[in-house]
């Protein structure tokens, strides 16, 4: 069967109820609100001490099964994409166990016993790799079955670091099947890119040495990162993946970007995807040769750079990642193109090929923060949710999905919206997901950030939650560090 006959048929989003208002955060920390709002967003969610990636993933997965009336016996593939896993042996099977218990409590059948349960990790790209794995499963040995991919993560940074306002937490569960109701995906048209970046963004186990185990068992997961270098790596790897996609596709590259209905990319913060897409459009102009030379030369003239020097810089696209593992000069990998990008931002074309393509769901994502592996799926879900509510007709339109994982890898995936997409999109229900947020005080935020109970904060999470963590390291039963979970029968 052709891979284009498979794709996405549903989304369920979960975010913790605890919210940090970034305007208030600016007041606590002395940051400039206008800059934070324009570049990063307006808020982010933080998990309670009773939550981890498995509880959030289980909640999103259960919501997906109930909302889309999925027969658990048909699910042959349940993948977890995360970089915040708290167990180095198991992952998705923990989610399966929690969901099975919740289904049984409702008198429903458990997930199929022959269900595959892989966990996938490559920084923020695990969810996208899970989607690709699910599509391959459905195309071959999973014929006639359904697949669920859930991306769940906790993005946390040390207080006072440049990453602090880009935190977030949440999970997105996705239903994949033949004859998709939302998005058809043809993997033969997709493209990949990967490079090893030594000091981009890492989470070495050494960070945990000597860290006391908190009552909930969830260790602090602050990454080692170098902000400017990580930004350069994101742009560089994304450009290579898009270059590979356009090489496969053939034809005019700039026209491809102009005629896309919408673009969804991994978003560590609000403005990052815009910068990468603007550069990708400029590279497309350069690759299209004489047919697009006039537009490219106009930008060069305004920026005061030579067009031939720009084309020479663009030609180095496949060699940048092979420079030194850490080089301060890579803070701006394409300086001439970056100068052109500033000119492009002031032109009507920028709105047509960048801003307009990234409008759907963008405002909701400014409230979500960085969800790591769940960031791209959440944006796609938000886009469909907004489109169905606003009457924006997407039927048959082409979308572009771009995933990215630090360290370094990227995926560029073209997709086409199903004719009957509105029925499935109407079930996403993002308003209900975001409703009832509890704005934290500074003291409450700092307590939850430290992994301890927050003062005067009642536990608002009534779903899956950590009940206790085992401490037995001797005798007949060993459970040191193993989390035991509560699964109330009343979960929605």
pLDDT computed for residue 203 by the predictor = 83
Q: What is the pLDDT along the chain (492 residues), one digit of tens a residue?
A: 344 489 999 999 999 999 999 999 999 999 999 999 999 999 999 999 999 999 999 999 999 999 999 999 999 999 999 999 989 899 999 999 999 999 999 999 999 999 999 999 999 999 999 999 999 999 999 999 999 999 999 999 999 999 999 999 999 999 999 999 999 999 999 999 998 887 788 888 887 777 787 878 787 788 888 878 888 889 999 999 999 999 999 999 999 999 999 999 999 888 899 999 999 999 999 999 998 999 999 999 999 999 999 999 999 887 665 554 545 445 678 999 999 999 999 999 999 999 999 999 999 999 989 999 999 999 999 999 999 999 999 999 999 999 999 989 999 999 999 999 999 999 999 999 999 899 999 999 999 999 999 999 988 777 999 999 998 988 889 988 899 999 977 544
pLDDT computed for residue 3 by the predictor = 40
Task: Please state the domain extents for the chain.
Answer: 3-189+420-486
Tell me if 265 sits within 8 A of 410, measured CB to CB: no
pLDDT computed for residue 170 by the predictor = 97
- In Å, how far are 76, 243, 371 from 226, measured between CA atoms? 40, 26, 19
pLDDT computed for residue 333 by the predictor = 81
pLDDT computed for residue 483 by the predictor = 92
pLDDT computed for residue 62 by the predictor = 98
pLDDT computed for residue 453 by the predictor = 92
Q: Which token pair is 162?
A: 């440049």
pLDDT computed for residue 323 by the predictor = 54
- Per-residue DSSP letters for 387-417? HHHHT---TT-EEEEEEEETTTEEEEEEEEE
Beta strands in 146-206 (DSSP E): 146-155, 168-178, 183-185, 191-194, 201-202
Give the strand order in the sheet containing 18-21: 43-45, 18-21, 438-439
Q: Which CATH architecture has domain 3-189+420-486?
A: 3-Layer(aba) Sandwich (3.40)
pLDDT computed for residue 321 by the predictor = 58
* Angle, alpha carbons 399-59-262 (nearest 5°): 10
Helix H or strand E segment including 198: none
pLDDT computed for residue 213 by the predictor = 76
Tell me if 126 sits within 8 A of 405, measured CB to CB: yes
Tell me if 376 sits within 8 A of 237, measured CB to CB: no
DSSP state of 169: E
């Amino acid at each position: 069967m052709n891979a284009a006959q498979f794709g996405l048929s549903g989304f369920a989003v979960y975010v913790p109820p605890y919210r940090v208002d970034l305007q208030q955060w600016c007041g606590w920390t002395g940051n400039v609100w206008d800059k934070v709002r324009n570049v990063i967003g307006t808020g982010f969610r933080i998990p309670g001490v009773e939550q981890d990636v498995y509880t959030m993933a289980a909640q999103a997965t259960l919501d997906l099964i109930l909302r889309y009336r999925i027969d658990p016996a048909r699910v042959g593939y349940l993948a977890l994409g995360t970089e915040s896993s708290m167990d180095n042996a198991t992952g998705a099977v923990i989610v399966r166990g929690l969901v099975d218990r919740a289904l049984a409590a409702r008198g429903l059948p458990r997930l199929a016993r022959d269900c595959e349960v892989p966990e996938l990790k490559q920084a923020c790209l695990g969810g996208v790799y899970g989607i690709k794995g699910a599509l391959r499963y459905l195309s071959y040995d999973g014929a006639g079955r359904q697949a669920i991919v859930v991306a769940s993560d906790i993005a946390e940074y040390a207080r006072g670091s440049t990453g602090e306002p880009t935190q977030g937490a949440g999970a997105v569960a996705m239903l994949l099947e033949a004859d998709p109701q939302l998005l058809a995906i043809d993997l033969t048209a997709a493209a990949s890119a990967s490079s090893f970046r030594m000091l981009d963004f890492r989470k070495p186990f050494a960070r945990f040495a000597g860290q006391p185990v908190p009552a909930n068992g969830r260790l602090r997961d602050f990454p080692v990162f170098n902000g400017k270098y990580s930004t350069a790596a994101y742009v560089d790897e994304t450009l290579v993946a898009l270059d590979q996609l356009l090489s496969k596709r053939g034809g005019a590259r700039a026209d491809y970007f102009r005629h896309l209905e919408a673009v969804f990319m991994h978003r560590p913060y609000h403005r990052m995807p815009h910068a990468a897409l603007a550069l990708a459009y400029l590279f497309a102009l350069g690759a299209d040769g004489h047919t697009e030379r006039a537009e490219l030369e106009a930008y060069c003239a305004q920026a005061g750079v030579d067009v031939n020097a720009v084309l020479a810089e663009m030609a180095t696209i496949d060699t940048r990642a092979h420079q030194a593992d850490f080089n301060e000069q890579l803070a701006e990998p394409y300086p001439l193109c970056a100068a052109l990008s500033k000119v492009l931002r002031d032109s009507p074309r920028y709105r047509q090929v960048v801003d307009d393509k990234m409008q759907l769901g963008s405002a909701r994502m400014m409230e979500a923060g960085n969800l790591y592996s769940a960031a791209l799926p959440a944006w796609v879900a938000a886009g469909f949710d907004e489109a169905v509510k606003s009457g924006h007709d997407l039927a048959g339109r082409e979308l572009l999905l771009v995933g990215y994982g630090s360290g370094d890898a990227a995926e560029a995936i073209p997709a086409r919206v199903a004719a009957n997409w509105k029925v499935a999109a109407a079930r996403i229900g993002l308003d209900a997901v975001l409703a009832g947020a509890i704005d934290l005080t500074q003291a409450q935020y700092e307590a939850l950030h430290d992994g301890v109970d927050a003062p005067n904060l009642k536990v608002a999470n009534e779903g899956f939650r950590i009940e206790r963590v085992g401490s037995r390291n001797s005798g007949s039963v060993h459970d040191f560090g193993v989390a035991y979970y509560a699964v109330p029968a009343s979960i929605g």
